[in-house]
């Protein structure tokens, strides 16, 4: 039996339409909707990162000794009494002042700053374990002559079974100004 060509054409057209409809349905279901590719609107603040840290403390030094030509601040001390740490800071400030006066007379005093950590050495004197100077050769020369050398020559508290005594200090110096004329010590004030 032979089918008329119109029936075959109709069946082919119907099958082709079904295949196209199925292909279209599959294509539409596999593609995401346009809303899924869009980033939702946000209210984020861009650029400035909020700082969760508290504001810096003004009393970063445990003790400060001010002299006309500079100031020495005690950042911290370990395995020694507060009185011993304050005596060391006062001695450093006194040595810095007398040295700065000599350097000023010779016109060799420059404005400078340093940070250092000193521990009790094997001979009972200070050993410098960490030191940082403000940039410049003359600054380093002033620091070595006025702070480091005198500190290393003086006696330091003896080590105990608890640990080795150590101090961390920061110092600034320069020409005498009216701002640094306080010859006493202030606790808790920035240099």
The alpha carbon of 168 is separated from its chain's Cα centroid by a whole number of angstroms, namely 16
Give 75: exposed, middle or buried? Use CB within 10 Å, 0-12, 13-18, 19+: middle
Please give the pLDDT value at position 47. Answer: 54
Give the global pTM: 0.64
**Is the pLDDT confidence value at 87 over 60?**
yes
Mean pLDDT in residue range 68-90? 96
**Is the pLDDT confidence value at 181 over 90?**
no
Please give the pLDDT value at position 176. Answer: 87
Please give the pLDDT value at position 60. Answer: 81
State pLDDT tens for residues 19-70: 566 666 666 665 555 555 555 666 555 555 555 556 656 668 999 999 999 9
- According to DSSP, residue 168 is labeled E
State pLDDT tens for residues 131-179: 999 999 999 999 999 999 999 998 999 998 999 999 999 999 999 864 4
Written as six digits, the tokens of 140 are: 């380093």
Please give the pLDDT value at position 182. Answer: 47
Residue with structure tokens 């521990």?
A: 119
Mean pLDDT in residue range 72-83? 96
Beta strands in 51-184 (DSSP E): 63-67, 70-78, 112-120, 126-133, 166-173
User: Please, are residues 70 and 138 in contact by the beta-carbon 8 Å criterion?
Assistant: no
**Is the pLDDT confidence value at 186 over 70?**
no
**Residue 63: partners with Cβ closer than 8 Å, 6 or more residues away:** 73, 74, 82, 85, 86, 89, 185, 187
More confident residue, 183 or 90: 90
User: Please, are residues 97 and 147 in contact by the beta-carbon 8 Å criterion?
Assistant: no
Please give the pLDDT value at position 144. Answer: 96
């Amino acid at each position: 039996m032979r089918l008329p060509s119109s029936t075959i054409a109709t069946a082919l057209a119907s099958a082709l339409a079904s295949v196209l409809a199925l292909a279209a349905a599959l294509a539409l279901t596999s593609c995401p909707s346009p809303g899924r590719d869009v980033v939702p609107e946000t209210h984020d603040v861009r650029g400035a990162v909020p700082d969760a840290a508290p504001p810096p403390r003004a009393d970063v030094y445990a003790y400060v000794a001010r002299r006309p030509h500079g100031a020495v601040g005690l950042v911290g001390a370990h395995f020694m009494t507060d009185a011993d740490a304050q005596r060391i800071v006062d001695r450093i400030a006194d040595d810095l002042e007398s040295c700065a006066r000599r350097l000023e007379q010779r016109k060799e005093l420059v404005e400078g700053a340093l940070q250092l950590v000193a521990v009790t050495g094997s001979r009972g004197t200070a050993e410098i374990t960490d030191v940082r100077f403000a940039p410049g050769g003359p600054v380093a020369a002033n620091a070595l002559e006025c702070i480091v050398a005198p500190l290393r020559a003086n006696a330091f508290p003896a080590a105990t079974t608890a640990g080795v005594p150590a101090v961390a200090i920061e110092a600034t110096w320069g020409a005498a100004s009216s701002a640094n004329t306080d010859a006493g010590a202030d606790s808790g004030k920035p240099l």
